[in-house]
Structure 1
Amino acid sequence: MEERVRAYVLNVEKAISTLSSMSLDEESRGIVELARAYLSDSKYYLEKGDVFTSLACIAYAEGLLDALKRLGKAEFGWEPLSKLLARPKVLVAGAFEILHPGHLHLLKKAWELGRVHVIVARDSSIRRIKGREPVVPEQQRLEVVSAVKYVDTAVLGDEEDFLKPVEHIKPDIILLGPDQWITPEGLSDKLEGRGIRGVRVMRLPERIGDDLYSTSGIIRRVCSQIGGVKKQEL
């Protein structure tokens, strides 16, 4: 039941994404926004484990969009449910300290491959790997990532064993970011060593954008701006 509701959610999400790029009249745009609100409610209740309320919300959203289609106000297609149910699980992992367009690019590419599951690094992992305190605490980072429209589910990582959530999620594909420390070959070896087989490991080929498409670049810009303000005050 839950998987079918997730498929309905994805179908409505894809339809709204298509309609958002169209030139619609004001009334139609209002209906799309109402459908988007029901979609948001559906995802919220689904993550809370209330599948039936989630189903009711997504049914309202689907009905609103169908009404637009039947009235000739918008043209789009629904994906066959069987195709959506067959979409592979795609796993993405990262710190997601300051969500920026580079993160959204990674998550969108993952969404194009299948249903996106995200592992958000723990505060302790950031301290160990980056040698500093996290900019944003783990619960807040998890909340922000969970709200991204491309993300199906998001969970916190394990503080000691980074492969434990992978064992639980059982992904078909793991998509690495361009700057992540481990190589696809290295991760494949570690998965094989744990008996996790049949996972396709890929890497996003290159970063996009400028320094503001990275957490470290944003931090440097903020520090520079603060330094400039302090000098002006002097």
Structure 2
Amino acid sequence: MEAANPETRIDAYIRNVANALVQIEREGVKNDVVEIARAYLKDSIYYLSRGDQFNALATIAYAEGLLDALRLLGIAQFNWSKTDDLIRRAQNKVFVAGTFEIIHPGHIAYLRHAWTLGRVVAVIARDSTVRRIKNRDVIIPERQRLEVVSNIVYVHKARLGYEDDMFRVVEEERPNIILLGPNQPFNENSLREELRKRELGNIEVVRFNDYVDCPLCSTTRILKAISNRFNQG
């Protein structure tokens, strides 16, 4: 494993605290101190996403101290992860792609899960690609969609895709993992075969299958709801 730079080490530190909070949540421990630690975790992720390593390190250290205090008091039980494993995770590049037209909780869950696997590269579909696949004009133009996704804290890098060959951007980014969304119409085996043909067979292809239960966790449903509301008016 290559030597980790300071940003990667802080990233791994953040992931360690995030893992501890997941363990605490599974144990059913809920109190104000846990919520404060969770808030510091969110702050740290945000600061690191903006390149502010100093405040990212400070806030995650506060969160770690609170969790250690809970463990010493016997209020919460958890184990810290091995640093090398977390650094390896922080060095992973996770490729996600989508239209990301109207951001909803399903998108956030997808990107949050991608973040747990490594550093996230989000590829935004071009306007022409959306028209071809969805048979409708795009509502939010590609540059605006790119700007929004670029500012989501779980995303390390966002970029536009290509109009001709969707694998071209994969060849350029060389991710370790491709994470498919639950509704994306790709067959995992066919995708792996195409990657092998392009000498990218070492990329792991996985699917995020956790559906978010909310009434408008779909751009299509959001647009339909807006249309119905205006038609009623």
TM-score band (shorter)?
Answer: 0.7 to 0.9
> Which residue of 1 is the match for residue 224 of structure 2?
220
3-state SS of 1:86 partner: helix
> C-alpha distance in 2, partners of 1:24/1:38?
16
User: Which residue in 1 is equivalent to 2:11?
Assistant: 6
- 82-91 or 118-127, larger mean C-alpha shift: 118-127
SS at 2:216 equivalent: helix
Q: Determine the C-alpha separation between the residues in 1 that align with 2:96 and 2:125.
A: 14
Q: In structure 1, give the amino acid aligned to 2:24.
A: L
Q: How many Å apart are 1:142 and its aligned residue? A: 0.8
Q: How many residues are matched?
A: 220
Could you say what secondary structure the match of 1:119 adopts?
strand
Task: Give the aligned partner of residue 145 of structure 2.
Answer: 138
Which amino acid is the alignment partner of residue 77 of structure 1? Answer: N
Give SS of 1:13's match: helix
For 2:210 and 2:19, the matched residues in 1 are separated by 26
Q: Structure 1 206/8 Cα, relative in aligned 2: closer, same or farther at 3 Å? A: closer
Gaps of 5+ in 2: none
Measured against aligned partners, the alpha-carbon deviations of 1:182-202 in whole angstroms (never above 9, x if no partner) come to 433443354345443411223
RMSD: 3.3
Q: Could you tell me how far apart the structure 1 residues matched to 2:41 and 2:209 are?
A: 32
**1:16 and 2:5 equivalent?**
no
- What's the secondary structure of 1:59's corresponding residue? helix
Percent identity for Structure 1 against Structure 2? 38
Partner of 2:130: 126
For 1:76 and 1:91, how far apart are their aligned partners in 2?
30
Indicate if the aligned counterparts of 1:12 and 1:39 stay in contact, CA closer than 8 A. yes
Give the counterpart of 1:184 among 184, 188, 194: 188
d(CA) in 2 for partners of 1:16, 1:207: 22
Q: Which residue of 2 aligns with 1:158?
A: 161
Which structure 2 residues correspond to residues 67-216 of structure 1 after superposition, within 5 A? 67-87=69-89, 88-107=92-111, 110=114, 114-115=117-118, 117-122=120-125, 124=127, 125-127=129-131, 129-130=133-134, 131-135=136-140, 137-143=144-150, 146-147=152-153, 151=154, 153-160=156-163, 162-163=166-167, 165-204=169-208, 212-216=216-220
Return the offset for 1:205: 6.2
Q: How many angstroms apart in 2 are the aligned matches of 1:168 and 1:16?
A: 35
Name the amino acid aligned to 1:199: I
Residues 73-104 of structure 1: CA deviation (Å, up to 9, x unaligned): 32222111122223354322112223334435
What do residues 45-66 of structure 1 show as CA deviations (whole Å, max 9, x unaligned)? 3223333442233222212221
Q: TM-score, normalised by structure 2?
A: 0.74
- TM-score, normalised relative to structure 1: 0.73
